[in-house]
Each structure stands twice: as structure tokens, then as C-alpha cells.
Amino acid sequence: MDSEPMGETFGSAAAGGARQLWLFTARDSLFFGAGLPFFAGETGRQKSRFPPSPLTMQGAVRAILLQAHHADVREFVRGWCTTCRRPAAECPVMQMVGEENDAETSAISLRGPLVATDDGELFYPAPLDLAWGRRRPSGVQAQADKPTKELVRLVPSEDATWTDMGLRRLPAAPEGYEDLSGVEGRYLAAHDFSQYLLGTVPKPGQLIDLWEVPEEAQTEGGAEQKHRVPPVADELHVGIGLNPKTRTAQEHMLYITHHVRLAKGYSLAEQVEPAFAGANGRQNGDGAGSHGQADVAQALPDVAGILADLVRHAPDVVRLGGESRLSFLQVRKCAGPTTDEKRQIANTLDSQNSRQGPLRFRLVLLQPARFRQGWLPDGLNPESLSGALRGVPVKLVSACLGKPVRQGGWDLANRRPKPTAAFVPAGSVYFFETTDPHCSGREIVEALHDEKLGLQTKAGFGHVMVGCGW
Ligand SMILES: [Zn+2]
């Protein structure tokens, strides 16, 4: 590893500006199944998950690209392109979309979904190293007025504790705080999230509950009418099971689904970009070593060009999620993290660790991640917790992990749910230190910031950002 001074050496994450932001603005309520079997009359009730799984978004993006190519999806499943009149394997669009039953062969790399406002501000899952805590009253000081809860940031404790995984340094609150509770399910606006990455503890008002009316709109006359509703709301739908043969209502077949409704001014955002930076086949943010990708990169030297052309022909109204709910689709240019942002993080990492020794950094998951060894990121030894993450030699010191989430999907070809796997949830935070004293902040940021770790990275799983300070 070198540690040359930082110049204009940051590669553009946007890979020549080919990254796009797809905004899905729902025309109606939305329903995202959990990938579990659902038969009217049996379970009777199903709640939409929100945000939807990256797999749902990947399915939608692939279908839209095929639609833009005017290709018949049923024929695609059979391996034939009706537009090019040749096998799917020879159609550039179908090659780009990937094999029907293995989306990871796609030449498209996704990041998302995230909730966004119409003007493109994104909401990120609140990192789980944040917690609510109460400052412990000192001595005789007013037992009566209990101090209000503040947000605090957990850091790996100096002392190791015996756990069922051996001697480990557990995350702990700063000295003097008690009554801790988690921030699961909350969000930070992009600007506040950037500040968090640089080491700032967000203010309580910056932690957003998307199911609640925004704070500034709660005061009388404080905001326009449209802001007095929560960004996301549950909506009850009652349906009647139909006999598929006679299309008549069947007895005992009432079912209830909980849809979600996004308020006016909010959309679901998905970042879409070619999986390769260029003809050399360098991967864009996806874990290396999957499926002879070099061949696809070679056969499809201009994924960016094909993608840009397809988007011009993409429909304005598209299906998203279950029950064929419709959304407007809008595609914008998307820069990804700017050179400035990356440089700031790198500089902060370097300056916080100016003494000779390892650099310490956090990795925050923006989407669920699936690793071969469960919660432990790929490339690390389960005993020593040391190894390499995308080439950066590290040791895992501690982690704040949420409850595992199960992700499955629907197996179109075999008409059955795909087996579910456990994923580390979005918001989880890993604390690392480098094991090479010469490793610089720039190297960490270049290798890991806005990149993806683990399995199914093309779909957007394992999307991480680098945070400073502990
Ligand atoms: Zn074709």
C-alpha cells in the first residue's frame, strides 16, 4: 500500500457520469410482499414491507429495461428476444439484464432503494451505533427533573468482555449515560448523514420517523397542508378471494393487506449504473469474482450507452411491487458521492489518527447485507476477525448489528417462493482498524465508501459507507 499525498487521485464513483437516479413516484398505494407464500383464506392478512427489498427494485428495473427494448418478457424467460429475433444470449439488452433465473449475471449495478423527496434529497437508515441515552444525574442534583434523552454514539469499549463468541469489545455509550434505547427504523436526511459520517452526533430532531408528520409541520400554520401528513402511511385494503375458475367470490376468503402510501413529494429512489467502469471490465462497486463477468464486460463494452438509450424509451408509468401497483418513473443524472465528500472523510480519518498506529473507521450498511459467514463480512477470519475488505487489511473490533432480516423472493420459473436467507439489516455498523500502519484514509475511502460487500451486490445488497471517529 502506498500513502501518496492526496491530489486529484479519487476515481469518480460515477464511472464517467453513467450513474442514474431512478425515482419511482407512486400513483397509488404500494404493496411489497415479504417473499413469503400468501394465499387468500389461509393467512388472511399480510403487511407490506417497507422499504421494499433490493430484489423487488432489481426485478422492476430489469422488467422496465426489457419493456424499453420492446421485448416480450415471456419469450425472455424462454431465452428468445422478440425484438432482435435472436437468442437472448445474443441480444445486448438481454445480456445486460442478465439471466432470467440469476440476476447477479446482470451488467447493471444497483444501489437502493431509499426514500427521496421530489428535489432528490435521500433518507438513509439511522446508523445503529446511535442510541438514545439519559445523562446520569450526579449526587443530590435534582432527582425530580429527570434529564431528557439525548442522542449518543456508541464506541467499542476499551475492556473486552467474554461473550459466546469469545473475548470481545462490545459497543458502549459514553461515560455517564444510562437508560439506553435504540434508533431502529429511523432515518437521517442525506446532509445529516454526511455529517454523521464525519463524526458529528445528530441532534434529536434530525432523527426522522417516516411514519410521523414532520416536526416543522406540526406547529399550527407552520407548513403547507401537503406537509401535514407523514411521508409514509399504512393503508388497510380488504379484498375478497376469487375462485380462479369462475371469478366469483368464495366464502371465507376475505383477506386484508396493509399497503403503504407515500405522501405527495416523496418517491422511492434507486441508483442504476453499469456494473463495469469500462472495456477493461473493472467492477463498479460489486464484489469481485462472480459469474465470468469479464466475458460479459467484453461482450458488452458500452453498457452505459445501451442503458442511456434504453432510458430514453422507458415508459413513464411502470409497475412496482405486488398487485401491479403503478408508479411514475423519472430518471435523472446522479453523481454519487462527490470527490469533496470522499476527501473530507479521508482527511478526517487521517487527522483523527495522526499518531503512528492503525486507522480506525466505521462501515455503515445502507441496505441489508448477506455474507457467507452470517454476520461476519466476507474476507475476515472468524477466529482472529482479521483479513482484508476489498484489499484493505483490517481487524474487526466491534459491531452494532440489528436483528437479522429474511429475504427471499418469488421464483418465477418454478412458481414458488425462493428459500429465504438471513441478512444483516440496514443501519448496522462495523468498527474496524487497519492492520497495515501505512494504510491511508484515502485508501480506505477509495476501496470501501459507496461500495458493496458480500453476496447479491448487483441487486444493491451490502451497500456501505465509511464513517469516521471512535
Ligand atoms: Zn433484443
pLDDT single digits (tens) 101-112 = 788 889 999 999
Q: What is the pTM of this model?
A: 0.88
| Ligand 1 center to 64 CA (angstroms) | 14
Contact assessment for residue 169 and residue 433, using Cβ atoms and an 8 Å cutoff? no
As to burial, measured by CB atoms within 10 angstroms (0-12 exposed, 13-18 middle, 19+ buried), residue 393 is middle
| Ligand 1 center to 88 CA (angstroms) | 7
201-215: string of b/e by CB count within 10 Å (b at 16+)?
Answer: ebeeebbbbbeeebe
230 vs 324: CA distance, rounded Å: 24
| Ligand 1 center to 70 CA (angstroms) | 8
| Ligand 1 center to 332 CA (angstroms) | 25
| Ligand 1 center to 294 CA (angstroms) | 21
Q: Which amino acid is at 418?
A: K
96 vs 91: CA distance, rounded Å: 9
CATH topology for the 339-467 domain: Immunoglobulin-like (2.60.40)
Report which of 152, 57, 50 is spatially closest to residue 426, judged by C-alpha positions.
50
| Ligand 1 center to 270 CA (angstroms) | 24
271 vs 269: CA distance, rounded Å: 7
Quote the percentage of the chain above a pLDDT of 90: 56
What tens digit of pLDDT does each residue of 317-356 get? 999 988 788 999 999 988 888 899 999 999 999 988 666 6
What tens digit of pLDDT does each residue of 245-274 get? 666 655 566 778 889 999 999 999 999 999
User: Rounded to a whole number, what is the largest CA-CA distance in the chain?
Assistant: 83
| pLDDT of amino acid 268 | 96
| pLDDT of amino acid 142 | 56
| Ligand 1 center to 72 CA (angstroms) | 10
CB under 5 Å of ion ligand 1: residues: 81, 83-84, 91, 93
| Ligand 1 center to 273 CA (angstroms) | 20
| Ligand 1 center to 317 CA (angstroms) | 22
| Ligand 1 center to 359 CA (angstroms) | 49
| Ligand 1 center to 314 CA (angstroms) | 15
* Rounded average pLDDT over 142-157: 82
| Ligand 1 center to 308 CA (angstroms) | 16
| Ligand 1 center to 87 CA (angstroms) | 8
Query: Would the pLDDT of 8 be above 80?
Result: no
Enumerate the β-bridge partners of residue 161.
Answer: 168
| Ligand 1 center to 80 CA (angstroms) | 8
| pLDDT of amino acid 5 | 38
| pLDDT of amino acid 139 | 65
| Ligand 1 center to 423 CA (angstroms) | 35
Q: In which element (H, E) is residue 156 found?
A: strand 155-156
Tell how strand 421-423 and strand 149-153 pair up.
unpaired
Place of cell 482498524: 433
| Ligand 1 center to 94 CA (angstroms) | 6
| Ligand 1 center to 323 CA (angstroms) | 28
Q: In which element (H, E) is residue 153 found?
A: strand 149-153
425 vs 269: CA distance, rounded Å: 19
Task: Tell me which of 175-179, 218-222, 307-311 is least confident.
Answer: 218-222
Report which of 337, 328, 322, 428 is spatially closest to residue 122, judged by C-alpha positions.
337
| Ligand 1 center to 295 CA (angstroms) | 18
| Ligand 1 center to 96 CA (angstroms) | 10
61 or 228: which leads in pLDDT: 61
What tens digit of pLDDT does each residue of 393-430 get? 999 999 999 999 887 665 655 666 677 788 999 999 99
| Ligand 1 center to 310 CA (angstroms) | 11
309 or 277: which leads in pLDDT: 309
| Ligand 1 center to 91 CA (angstroms) | 4
Sequence-separated (6 or more) residues with CB below 8 Å from residue 412: 77, 100, 101
| pLDDT of amino acid 409 | 60
| Ligand 1 center to 84 CA (angstroms) | 4
What tens digit of pLDDT does each residue of 32-47 get? 876 544 443 345 567 8
Query: Would the pLDDT of 188 be above 70?
Result: yes
DSSP characters over 168-231: E--EEPPTTEEEEEE-TT-EEEHHHHHHHHTTPPPPGGGSB-TTS--HHHHSTTSS-GGGGS-S
Q: In which element (H, E) is residue 45 found?
A: strand 45-47
Query: Would the pLDDT of 66 be above 90?
Result: yes
* Rounded average pLDDT over 440-460: 96
Q: Which amino acid is at 72?
A: D
| pLDDT of amino acid 2 | 36
Report which of 128, 171, 108, 58 is spatially closest to residue 365, judged by C-alpha positions.
128
* Banded model confidence at residue 7, pLDDT cuts 50, 70, 90: very low
| Ligand 1 center to 291 CA (angstroms) | 21
Whole-number mean pLDDT of the chain?
A: 84
118 vs 138: CA distance, rounded Å: 47
Task: Please state the φ and ψ torsions of residue 230, each to the nearest 5 degrees.
Answer: -65, 150
| Ligand 1 center to 125 CA (angstroms) | 38
| pLDDT of amino acid 69 | 96
In the chain, where the domains are located? 20-35+49-118+262-333, 339-467
Most confident of 51-55, 282-286, 405-409: 51-55
Query: Would the pLDDT of 242 be above 70?
Result: no
